[in-house]
Structure 1
Amino acid sequence: MVLTKRLLLLLLLVLEPRFINGAETNRLESFVHDELPFSQHGIMGFSTSIASDAENDVEKVIQAWYINDEDNAEKDQMPHDLIPIGKLLDLGLVAMQLDADNHEHDEKLKKMREQRGYLHMDIVELTPKKLPNYNMMIKRFFEEHLHIDEEVRYCLDGSGYFDVRDENDRWIRVSVRKGALIVVPAGIYHRFTLDSNNYIKAMRLFSGGPDWTAYNRPHDHLIARKKYLEALQNRTKVPQDLDSSLNLTSL
């Protein structure tokens, strides 16, 4: 009994977020965060000349639409007029459709990880049954924030919403389903919530020791934020030699 209590206490200590100058960190919270086309080793990006069938594949698992900036936005479950995936790419996101049932042996995923330097990964599940303090954690995930590293999330099962700010500070809701891989660039304000299924299983990819600190808005003084805005304004990119068979869509 004593051992069980100690294990429970240790688990809560690991999961409990810490606050640093208004920024909260949490290992599970990392599920929603990181740095990209405007990221990593400078201003990065992939070719936008993708085949139409590749974009159609992405749209099977990733959809996006504008939502009102209201307090009840977390409950906004119904898609409105869909916007093109290209809009997300303009904001620096990466969108990709993969075979989630074959993620352990997927050559496309392996190649993408090698070319982007994602040497490490882990898998997390968000569900009321498996996440202690579920309601509190989901509320914190939904607070608007940014990260100084890119966030790479691959949905293996379930579904959820990433909300990202566009260049006019309007919210775009990005729905991800099984098979969707999304990269959220460093410096972009965003948030995450589950949909009515209340479940998602995701692979987190990263190149080294990730900094998953969430800097709640406003943190416009951060270098990552300034670089993101500069890249967004200039639409700067550095071409990379990526195999077109990856069907990877980006800036």
Structure 2
Amino acid sequence: MPSFDHAGLTIAYLDDGEGEPILLIHGFASNKNVNWVYPSWLSELKRAGRRVIAIDNRGHGESTKLYDPADYTLAAMAGDALALLDHLELPRTDVMGYSMGGRITATLAREHPDRVRSAILGGLGLGLIEGGGPGENVAAALEAQSLDDVVDPMGRTFRVFAEQTRSDRRALAACMRGSRRLMTREQAAQIAVPVLIAVGTTDDVAGSAHALGAIIPGAEVLDIPRRDHMRAVGDRVYKEGVVDFLARRP
């Protein structure tokens, strides 16, 4: 897979297909392949006539691993995404992020609207603004000696996922602690690009999609029926809704 150097880090990415570009930003403990390639997002979007770019966030996949939470601010990770667009000489693109990737996408949409044609927030609802969801319980689970030592249910879920993706668990713990900053309602209301919010109806991590949709001006909401946070990623309703949303962009 290709990579480029940014701020002393190696950032890995994929770039495939032809047409209007879309940047994909994966979720916590995932990577570009697990979040986007294996669930057939790459082939789906290429079939829809899109050029698909997907990044490995710092601390994930084939990108550089860091162990200081201060290196994992949302602004820093959004900066990596912008640097990738600069590297590929793309002035503006649609952006879709899932979960933590949704937080990064929302940051890009709010702070760099000139670079974001539209923003798709997958697996992220009111959790963008209000607490809940993964936190120190997940970081502690990642640092535990073994899975047998983890009793917190959400911690166990992410520990198992991190082991399945063969992730650097120490880097992930630092990322969890460094990327927890929330937006205020006022900041979310400043997002002025077209937004689609897509969340599973049984997702207990993301927070309410409809509550966030009421805050971001003009946002559309897509309910992904009977899917939780992990299983919504590759759902057909999610894919069809995103392709339709993108097709309606001016």
TM-score (structure 2 length as normaliser) = 0.27
Greater strand content: 1
Structure with greater helix percent: 2
Comparing both chains, which one has the higher relative contact order based on Cα–Cα distances under 8 Å and sequence gaps of 6 or more?
1
